[in-house]
Amino acid sequence: DTAVSQTPKYLVTQMGNDKSIKCEQNLGHDTMYWYKQDSKKFLKIMFSYNNKELIINETVPNRFSPKSPDKAHLNLHINSLELGDSAVYFCASSSGHNTGELFFGEGSRLTVL
């Protein structure tokens, strides 16, 4: 009965590959997010979707493409992976896009070799 679940938890891949991370929330929330946490623990917002509509696109390279098939799912596809993409990617959700409480998934650690 995990509220926000993301898969895979760990991802190790070579430079230049394409990979996807999936996220699902069962909280009935309208808004979902992707955050990137770097090696220094700095957490930066990447994207936000409200009811399948893109709300925030925070100057992320266009190699990153989010997709929200419905309001319970927000997937992240990354093309042509680079070393600098290595990080932990967190999915989160909230009941509205008014910056109330966020519910986070457990993170997906991506390592690009």
Partner 1 sequence: SQQGEEDPQALSIQEGENATMNCSYKTSINNLQWYRQNSGRGLVHLILIRSNEREKHSGRLRVTLDTSKKSSSLLITASRAADTASYFCATDEGGSEKLVFGKGTKLTVNP
> Which residues contact partner 1 by CB under 8 A?
4, 35, 40-45, 48, 55-56, 58, 90, 92, 97-107
Q: Which two tokens stand for residue 25?
A: 């929330």
Burial class of residue 91, CB neighbours in 10 A (0-12, 13-18, 19+): buried
Shortest Å distance, C-beta 88 to partner 1: 9
Q: Which two tokens stand for residue 30?
A: 């309208």
47 vs 78 by CB, closer to partner 1: 47
15 vs 54 by CB, closer to partner 1: 54
Shortest Å distance, C-beta 104 to partner 1: 4
How far apart are the C-alpha atoms of 54 and 66, rounded to whole Å? 9
